[in-house]
């Protein structure tokens, strides 16, 4: 092009190159306002590499079990011994302390067909007379908690 028309300015070649690029690459390259053709090519290749990196899915990271289990924080309050005065708001509201059943007590009640909470016969559709908020904690092995809270 320069041989046939030697009076063309360098800006013409840069503008022609950038104008012929895809829209995704063109706008990125123009944003850097390249002054020379090698600069325009560099910015265009940089944007093309970025687009390809975004399109290729990351390979899933393999699961590596931890050798030592990390201690997990419980969502439930720590039980307070009977000889210490309770400062927990849950106990000061007048609600009874939560009843914790041992494994043997649960097995006995299950064998007798009794409700775990109200000792009434348990059947489908059973509703306890005791109205208490219940919180269930499920621990999934291998899942770590975020300790930023």
pLDDT band for position 145 (cuts 50, 70, 90): low
The structure's pTM equals: 0.37
| Residue 44, pLDDT score | 92
pLDDT band for position 52 (cuts 50, 70, 90): confident
> Taking CA 138 as the corner, what is the angle to CA 89 and CA 149, rounded to the nearest 5 degrees?
55
pLDDT band for position 42 (cuts 50, 70, 90): very high
Q: Answer whether 73's CB lies under 8 Å from 145's CB.
A: yes
């Amino acid at each position: 092009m320069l041989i046939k028309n030697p009076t063309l300015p360098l800006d013409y070649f840069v503008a022609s190159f950038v104008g012929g690029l895809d829209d995704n690459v063109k706008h990125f390259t123009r944003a850097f306002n390249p002054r020379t053709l090698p600069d325009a090519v560099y910015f265009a290749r940089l944007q093309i590499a970025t687009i390809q990196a975004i399109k290729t899915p990351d390979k899933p990271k393999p699961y590596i079990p931890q050798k030592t289990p990390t201690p997990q924080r419980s969502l439930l309050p720590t039980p307070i011994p009977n000889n210490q005065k309770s400062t927990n708001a849950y106990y000061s509201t007048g609600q009874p302390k939560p009843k914790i059943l041992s494994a043997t007590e649960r097995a006995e009640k299950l064998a007798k067909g009794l409700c775990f909470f109200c000792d009434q016969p348990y059947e489908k559709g059973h509703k306890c007379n005791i109205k208490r908020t219940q919180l269930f904690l499920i621990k999934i092995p291998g899942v770590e908690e975020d300790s930023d809270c």
